[in-house]
């Protein structure tokens, strides 16, 4: 028997959507099947989004039966769906095989649909602006579980998804290997073939992983949850800043922009009477004016458990004007799904309960 086998058969069930085409090819070799069968399986999984091996109708019945004995095609249950009456935004609560649940959001723009997916059940970053970290980290999602969120949303609307943002529950770079695997598969020809330039990964600032991401040769958009122009305030809002300072973070971002040629998006959630002052806007402008970047101002979603309240429109305009005067590119996030639980963690906590077994 070949000691270099990638998979042990029999053994734990294989989640086929967790595998790349190359891994599927190795599996086919191990079970004595021809190489081209791997691409057939991959297309059924990653393009057609089947959740049953019986749906792979161009595979021999004998091969389907063998694959069913050693693995499964994944799939998520839609536990709850909300649809905004204002703009059509769809919010999903997806049930996982182990009883946990994660959220996804599908947003409609003029250029097509954008899927916002989760990378973890819960989160351990404890950012003050985010409800998804209130219960801590439960576990990482596999690459297949992340991919299944996109497939479920695409199936629901019956139209192709053109953009993916990793901005749901969890810190994507804290689940680095599975997230990178997901991105590569959804970009692949055997997958949904979504351009790297149509994929955005949002991070609170894990500096070593940002440096690693720079070397992946995947020119995705990196969005960083900044929220403050100095360490004193950022330590309060984004606790990981105590480990990786603002200076280290901005240096890693500059390196990423230099290597990929992609400008960094800095997300800045404006919180009433905390980080929305004129002085802080001026300080932020000085820090960012020489970076290849875009600042995305976000009127903060209220998080009552953390004492977070939304700033006023007047202060948003003032903050934006100050940044633009220093030559910093700025946008104000368009608010979607304000009549539903569209912010990270809101729907999951409301449906499952603050002290549910999922947390």
| Contact status, residue 222 vs residue 178, Cβ threshold 8 Å | no
| Contact status, residue 194 vs residue 163, Cβ threshold 8 Å | yes
d(CA 345, CA 112): 25
Alpha-helical regions (H) of 207-299: 207-214, 231-237, 246-260, 278-288
Nearest to 304 by CA among 350, 268, 335: 350
Helices and strands (H, E) in the chain, number of each type? 11, 14
d(CA 16, CA 41): 9
Six-digit token string for 98: 């182990």
d(CA 105, CA 117): 7
Q: What angle do CA 334, 336, 338 make, to 5 degrees?
A: 120
Catalytic residues: 103, 344
| Contact status, residue 38 vs residue 63, Cβ threshold 8 Å | no
């Amino acid at each position: 028997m070949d000691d270099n086998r990638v998979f042990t058969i029999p053994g734990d069930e294989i989640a086929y959507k967790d595998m790349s085409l190359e891994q599927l090819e190795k599996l086919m070799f191990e079970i004595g099947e021809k190489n081209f069968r791997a691409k057939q399986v991959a297309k059924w999984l990653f393009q057609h989004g089947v959740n049953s091996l019986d749906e792979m109708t161009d595979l021999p019945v004998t091969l389907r039966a063998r694959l069913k004995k050693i693995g499964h095609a994944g799939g998520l249950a839609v536990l709850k769906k909300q649809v905004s009456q204002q703009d059509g935004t769809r919010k999903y609560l997806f049930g996982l095989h182990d009883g946990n649940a994660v959220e996804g959001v599908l947003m409609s723009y003029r250029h097509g649909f954008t899927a916002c997916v989760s990378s973890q059940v819960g989160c351990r970053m404890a950012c003050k602006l985010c409800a998804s970290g209130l219960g801590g980290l439960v576990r990482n999602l596999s690459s297949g579980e992340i991919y299944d969120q996109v497939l479920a949303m695409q199936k629901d609307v019956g139209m192709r998804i053109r953009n993916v943002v990793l901005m749901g529950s969890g810190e994507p770079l804290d689940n680095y290997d599975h997230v990178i695997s997901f991105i590569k598969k959804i970009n692949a020809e055997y997958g949904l073939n979504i351009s790297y330039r149509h994929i955005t990964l949002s991070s609170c600032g894990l500096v070593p992983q940002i440096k690693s991401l720079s070397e992946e040769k995947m020119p995705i958009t990196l969005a960083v949850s900044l929220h403050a122009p100095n360490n004193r305030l950022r330590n309060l809002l984004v606790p990981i800043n105590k480990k990786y300072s603002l200076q280290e973070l901005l240096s890693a971002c500059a390196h990423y922009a230099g290597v990929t040629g992609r400008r960094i998006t800095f997300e800045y959630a404006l919180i009433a009477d905390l980080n929305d002052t004129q002085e802080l806007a001026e300080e932020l402008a000085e820090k960012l004016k020489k970076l290849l970047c875009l600042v995305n101002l976000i009127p903060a979603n209220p998080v009552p458990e953390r004492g977070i309240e939304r700033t006023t429109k007047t202060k948003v305009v003032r903050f934006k004007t100050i940044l633009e005067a220093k030559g910093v590119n700025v946008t104000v996030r368009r608010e979607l799904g304000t009549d539903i639980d569209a912010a990270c963690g809101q729907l999951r906590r409301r449906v499952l309960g603050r002290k549910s077994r999922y947390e």
